[in-house]
Structure formats: structure tokens, C-alpha cells
Structure 1
Amino acid sequence: MTSMSDTKRGDGADVRGLREAMRGQVLVPGETGYDEARRVWNGTVDRRPALIARCLDVADVQRALGFAVGHDLPVAVRGGGHSVAGFSTCSDGVLIDLGLMRTVSVDAQARVARAEPGVTGAEFDRATQEHGLATTLGVVSTTGIAGLTLGGGIGWLMRKHGLACDNLLSVDLVTADGRLVTASADENPDLFWALKGGGGNFGIVTSFEYRLHPVGPTVYGGGVMFAREHRRAVLEAFRELTRRAPDELTAYAAATAAPDGSPVAAVAACYAGDPAEGARLLDPVKAAVGEPLLDALGPLPYTEQQSRVDAGYPRGEYHYWRSCFLDDLTDAVIDVLVDRASDFWAPPALELIVEHMGGAIAAGDGAFAHRDASYDVLIAANWTDPADQDRCVAWARDTAAALEPHSRGGYVNYEPDADGAHVPGAFGDRLARLRALKARYDPHNVFSLNQNVTPAP
């Protein structure tokens, strides 16, 4: 058997055999393209896999996984590569890169789309909007659909149509022992339940089938910004808005940065219905707060709504995020948010984003554990100068600690640490069932680079 050092150098017979067997590309350190292929979205993550397998089809995935398991090497799986915690890569292991698997097919009559795991939100939206259809995805369109969906999938359509995982009809995945299986409500339903919010714990998904909904081409959306001193008024007006909002409206409130980097308070929204009704609902927010610095609320193409904040989250920038789900946006929570926002400084882009949950989310089923939460707070530290890392991470952790008395756990896709500390809060009362399923589908914890569910004994 090829030694670890042979695998790293790429001169072992087994590596050559993998190259010959795969339709895709195999890269090892020192080869042209390796350094670019190993990079991920979060600039704080700088790891060097022993081997990168750039897969083109299911057979490639099975061969790459078999190689990793056969050599007892860690396995990382990458779709879009946007894992905040850096789970999209590894050191001294095998990175199974799905980024070349990017086909989207749409059955407009049935309102169903099938997408491969390397597809981004933007690619999916372009394909479905050709038919006036969409499903819930994230709010940054460069994000891959795979990890987003498996962790839940918070996005602009969630209150009307549920989370991304709630819109799954079926998935095909490669299990830890190399089998290709289908999971749906009728076939392997327990596995299907686990995949709807359980993250990458149960296998490598090679195909997602989604339910689609009539959306667009125009929605009422965008955002409005106010001077930072209005942040309390913005949060109070947002609370009033969300307590009476119909399911068609998904809205966020934020202490964030304007395009010039200056701290502001903001509300962003998407109304998945008549744009005139969206304006009627959101105009009182502006009236309650005062004159905005920037008012970009209005009718806009759905694809623009999906991509309007992309530029704020470029590849290679540094990120450390935390999150907490809330039962209510109480005065005490608002006090914490206003206080923690007062610590903002330039140039790092520190953000507190309050996401309104509820609506159709509560009706869904699956491993996503916080379906009855009213809000989620994203605590986002983003910076470009490595010298800012310690204070940015400290700010995010201190903010999470200040919100902890009000929190019921965090969102799998936002939690940054890989030490397992967030797993109980993320999965809540689903954890025992997930551990039992993990023991069934991945008893040796091959898929451990995630917010890891360990197999039940």
C-alpha cells in the first residue's frame, strides 16, 4: 500500500491508478493548478490536502472516496467552498472537489429542478428564472447550493416556501462504504430526514432534486440604510414589522457597513408577491425611523435580489461568524445588539444581522432543529488585514456570549469552530436520532469534517 509520504508526493502506484481511473483531475502538492485548487472562500483557511480529486461524475466520487478510505486519510468534501469553518478542505487528506459537477436541469411543467453539487446559487437561479420559477437558496449567490441546503438553507423565500432543505424532493448520495443511494420521502426516508439540516455527516450528495415555485421575474426587495445612531429605532421598527408580516415577506435588520465602509443601520427585504403590497408593508419602517441615507427598496429582478450583496463577501476575505436563534426580539436583546454594534470600527466590516424566521419554516420536517425560532442573529466578523484577526474574533465571541442568555442554539452553516462545541446547540433534540442514523450510515465517521455528529455507540 502507498505510504502517506508517497501519497503526498503523488509518485505512488495507487495515485497513478486513481488518475487513470478518474474522468476528472487528480492534483498533488507541487503540481500546476494545485495551489489554486486548494483555496477556499474564507481567507483564514489555508490548508494543504495530500490529494485533490476534482470529480466529473458519480464514479469519480466513488473512486476518490474509496482511495481516501483505503489509505485511511481524512476526507473533505467541497461543493462551492464557502464553509465558514473551513470544512471544504483539509490538511494531509483527500479533498473531494465537486466544483466541476455543475449541471442544472429544469422541468418547468412539473416545477422541479435537478442540480449537481458544484452548482452555485446564481447558476441555479439563472436556470430556473428562465421559466419564472425559483426555490429558497442563500442571500449570497456565489455560495454553492450543496452545503447550504444540507445545513438548512436560510434565504429570501424561506418564510413563504420554507428552507432550501424543505424544498428537496430527493437526493442521490454516495455513502461512506461507496454505495450510491437515493433518499426521498419514499426511499430511505430516515436518511432523507437527516439530510434536511444534518449537514455533510451522512455522505456525498451527487444530485439534488428541488421543488420550484412561481417567483419573479420582479420582486419588491433591496434595502434601506440609516445613520448608525438610528440603530435602536431600526430594530424596534423591524420588530414591529416582523410581528405582523405575512409569509410572503422575509426581512433582515442589520448593523452593518455602507458601501463607503461607514457604519450604518439597515433593513433589507424581499416580498414574494405583489410589489405594491411589499411597498405598503415596508414604507412604515422608513416613516418610523426617519430620513434614510440610502433608499434602495423597490421593484427589482429576482436574480438581482439574490446577488445584490455578493460584492460584500469576496473570495479570500477573512471571516469568523457566530449565530444564535431567538424566540423573540426583546428589549433586552435589542440592548445587547445596540451595545455590541457600538464597538464597530473601520476598516473591518463587523456586522450584526437579524434574520426573521417563522412562516413556512415551522411547517417543515427534518434535522433542522430551530423551526419554531422567531429570529436568527448572524454575528459576522469580516476583515482583510490579518493583523485584525484577534480583535475581530474576540468581538464575535464576546457578542455571542452576551446573547447566549437569550439564545436557543446556533445555525450549522454559520458556526465557525470545528471542535464540536456548537453541535448540541445546532441540532438540539434531533441529535440523538442523528447519532443513531450516523451509526447506521457512517459508523466509522468517515465524514467528520463538518459540525460533526458522532456515531451512537
Structure 2
Amino acid sequence: MAQPFELCIQGQVRYANKHGIPFYAVNTGHGSTTSQTRFDGIQIDLSILPSGENLPRGQTAWIQGGSTVEVTVDELWGQGYVTTTGGAGCPGILGVGLGGGHGLLQGFHGLVSDNFVAFNMVLANGRAITVSESFYSDLFWAMRGAGHSFGIVTSAEMRVYPRSDRDWSFKLYIWTQDNIEPVLGELIRMREDGEPRDLAFNFGSYALYPGLGTSEIRQPYLPHLPRPSPLSEAQPYLAPFYAIPALITQNGSAPYNLIPRVTGAGADSPQCERGRTYMHYSSYLQEWNVTAQRTIYNLFAENIATNPTAFARAAVLMGDYKHDAVAQVDAASSAYPWRDRRLLKYTYPPLSVSEDRKLTENVSNVVINYTPDPSLDDFALTWARRTKELWDGGQPGIPGAYYVNYAAGDESPESVYGYEPWRMQRLRALKVKYDPFGRFSYYNPIPIRRGR
């Protein structure tokens, strides 16, 4: 039986269809693709849905459509469980998961989308259905990687895992820009020597660090060690980084549920602030070209210097995720297309990496954010687009690939949803079947021929 909030959403969708009004469901509003700017109609606010999680069998939880990452993590943690989520606390967990969903646990349990068991959802015609491997299995395939284009999810059943009460450890370095090459050189050697067993996530950025004035700095290494182990166990592969003089180093540890907050990604962190303009592009990298990385930094520094006050919070972000469990999932089993886009090797110096060491996945993202000022928009957009071009140019012969959750909105559908011809054919056919009039066409839409 449909719940009251599902009936409400059904009513809104049917009303909008009857009167020819576009509709669009949002949760916390963290989608940043420019395709959203074409929307003008009824906004359906999912954040009003209950956020409580239910554990009927101790193996799965029902996550409500209004739940954020931080709320989900905290409520499951309190019941003795964890599940795969995004790394930042503020986005809605279903918005993250419908596009795949990268996070700290993906190397152990897969993407967020790999852990969906079922969806309660409202279709474009206002009909409420439950989707799983057993019911509407074709739609279940699409929802895991391209779900924003097929329906409004009111709740989802996800696999959960017993939590570990032992803390995670992390290490933070802040280096000046002249250490980009040495730091990346050590990262190369660390990967060549073998993937550290306990490294879940390696985060780097070009950013201005608070308290250091306008000095351009490099924050390229933030490992989280998810095994219940002290930081001392990481010394064999962290030791070379101690030899590179850093402005700041910081050791820390915390329970898994608090790691985003203590590392600056909690729901109240600056990156979750509303009311700012965001210009951004991203790229999955098959190879991380250090020459390109230096050029990207130089562009960052030059553009920051034009207006250091306005662009003080601009950043180039580089996330290197553990990939083991993601790679073990059959690539054809869901609409998520980029299981092969793992960090295979760094290209400086040229080193070969054996197949069994291809265990990380690199997602890079440039975010130019500032207090709204239309006079800065063209400059910031050009800056962000040029950064993406430099990333893509650093891996010649490999088509650009873009994470749907970070897509800017002007990428080709194939570069977002996969280059294999069968993927787009299948997605288009499902779009015609479940949304023939293209009602869900405001989040990196899948193009179809509109029905009459």
C-alpha cells in the first residue's frame, strides 16, 4: 500500500501531467549540471520525506527519499551497521546512488548503486511501483547508474554491513606547489610497490589553505585507513612522504561515521554551503599525467591571482578510490558504465603497473565557486572547462569519460552513460518504455524521440 507521501507525489505528478506543467524532484539541491537550468515548473521537494532507516532483517535497510548521506550514516551507525554512501555529508543519498555513488567503502562493498536491492518509485505517468531484480528488472538495471532519468524514488532498500567499532586513521599533508612532482613521484612508487591494503581513499587538491594568506598550496595526499589499524601500520608506505617538507601535517583517527566531519566534508562544511555560484567540470582518468597536472596547477594559480578574494575557495579536487569490490561487479549488470576507469598508471616517470595492482579509481573535479557575481561567470566557466580539457588531453587516444553526478551538462550522452553502443541503445529503449514524453529530462538527460 502506498504511503501518504507517495500518494502526495503521485498526485503532484498527475496534476502536472494533466496541466502540461514540467516537474522535477530534488532533495538537498546539490545537483550542479547546467541541464537543470532548463527547468521551469513544479519542484517536488523530497527532503520533507521521513529520514528514518528500518532494518527488517539485519541485512538490508530501507533508506527514505529525503535522507542525506550524513543522516543515513548516523542512523545506521546507531543501529550497528554501515552501508555505502557518498563521501560528503550533505547530498541526498539517493541522488548520489542513482548515478553510481563513490565513497569510502566502495573498495570493500562496491558503489552505492551496487548495494540497492529495491526501489519504491513513482513513474512519469504518476504510477507507483516497486522495482527489483524480480520485478521490472529492466528498469532496475537502468536505475543503478542512470536512475535520475527514469523516476522519483521515494525509498530504496540497501544492503547493510555490521559496523566495526575500531577507528579509522588518516594523514593530512599540506605542501607548497613546488612539491607537486616529488609528491606524485612517491605516489607512483607507492602504487608500483603494490596497493596498500588499508588505503580506502586518497584525496588531493589545489586550493588556498585558510590561515596561509594567498600562498598557493598543494594538499595532494589524504589517505583514510579503513581497517581497524593505527596509523603506525601505514608507516611503510607513508615514510617517503615524511621526507618531503610540508607546511602542515596532521594525524587523526575517528569512528567511521565521523570521518567526513573531521576531514572537512561534513554536512556543515564550506563545501555544503548554499547560495554560491559553482562552475565545475570533471573527468575520470585512465592515466594521471603529471605534466598535465602541473599545467592545471599553473592555470589555477594564474586565475586565482586575477581575483584572490572572489576565488579564494576555488579548488581542483582529485579523488583516488579503492576499486576492488567495484571491479568485481559485472560491468553489464547495471547502467553504471565506468568500472574500467580505474587509475592504471601514472605517466611520470613511465612505469608499468601489473594487472593485479589496478585497484584504484580516479575522479577529478574542478570547482570554481564564489559569491554570485555575473561578471565572473564567463571567466570561471572558461577556467573550469579548460581544466577538464587539460585532464582529457593528458590521456591521448582515450575518450573522455564523465561521472553523471559531476557532469557539467554539455557532455555527450555517450561520454556520461558509456561508449558501448548497446548501452545507449538499451537506455533509449527503456526511456521510450517508461518515460516516452521525456518528463525526466533535467538531469543530464538521455535523449529520445519525443512521443506525440
Q: Which residue of structure 1 aligns with residue 124 of structure 2?
A: 176
Are 1:410 and 2:402 an aligned pair? Answer: yes
- Larger mean CA deviation between 257-266 and 404-413 belongs to 257-266
1:187-198 residue pairs with structure 2 within 5 A? Answer: 187-198=135-146
Q: Which residue of structure 1 aligns with residue 265 of structure 2?
A: 309
1:25-424 residue pairs with structure 2 within 5 A? Answer: 57-85=5-33, 92-107=40-55, 110-217=58-165, 218-221=167-170, 223-242=172-191, 244-246=194-196, 248=198, 249-260=200-211, 262=214, 263-266=216-219, 267-276=221-230, 279-280=234-235, 283-284=238-239, 286-287=241-242, 290-307=244-261, 308-310=264-266, 311-313=269-271, 314-345=273-304, 346-347=308-309, 348=311, 349-357=313-321, 358-364=323-329, 365-374=333-342, 375-386=362-373, 387-405=375-393, 406=395, 408-417=400-409, 421-424=411-414
Q: Within 2, Cα distance between the matches of 1:350 and 1:281?
A: 34
Task: Write the letter of the residue equivalent to 1:245.
Answer: E
CA drift at 1:252: 1.8
Are 1:448 and 2:441 an aligned pair? Answer: yes
Cα deviation, 1:27-67, whole Å, max 9, x if unaligned, reads xxxxxxxxxxxxxxxxxxxxxxxxxxxx9610011000011
Cα deviation, 1:119-139, whole Å, max 9, x if unaligned, reads 111110111111342222122
The SS at the match of 2:146 is coil
Q: Within 2, Cα distance between the matches of 1:306 and 1:195?
A: 27
Percent identical: 25
Q: Within 2, Cα distance between the matches of 1:78 and 1:181?
A: 19
Cα deviation, 1:286-340, whole Å, max 9, x if unaligned, reads 225x232222333212222123324221111221111111112234443444443
The SS at the match of 1:413 is helix
Q: TM-score, normalised by structure 2?
A: 0.81
8 Å contact kept, 2:404–2:444: yes
8 Å contact kept, 1:225–1:293: yes
CA root-mean-square deviation: 2.6
8 Å contact kept, 1:199–1:451: no
Q: 1:242 to 1:438 in 2, by over 3 A?
A: farther
- Larger mean CA deviation between 445-454 and 242-251 belongs to 242-251
Q: 1:97 to 1:134 in 2, by over 3 A?
A: same
Q: Within 1, Cα distance between the matches of 2:270 and 2:184?
A: 22
CA drift at 1:404: 2.3
Structure 1: state its 5+ residue gaps. Answer: 1-54
8 Å contact kept, 2:196–2:237: no
Ranked by relative contact order (alpha carbons within 8 Å, sequence separation 6 or more), the top structure is 2
Q: Within 2, Cα distance between the matches of 1:87 and 1:104?
A: 31
8 Å contact kept, 1:76–1:87: no
Structure 2: state its 5+ residue gaps. Answer: 343-361
Q: Within 2, Cα distance between the matches of 1:121 and 1:451?
A: 22
CA drift at 1:90: 6.6
Q: 1:423 to 1:242 in 2, by over 3 A?
A: farther
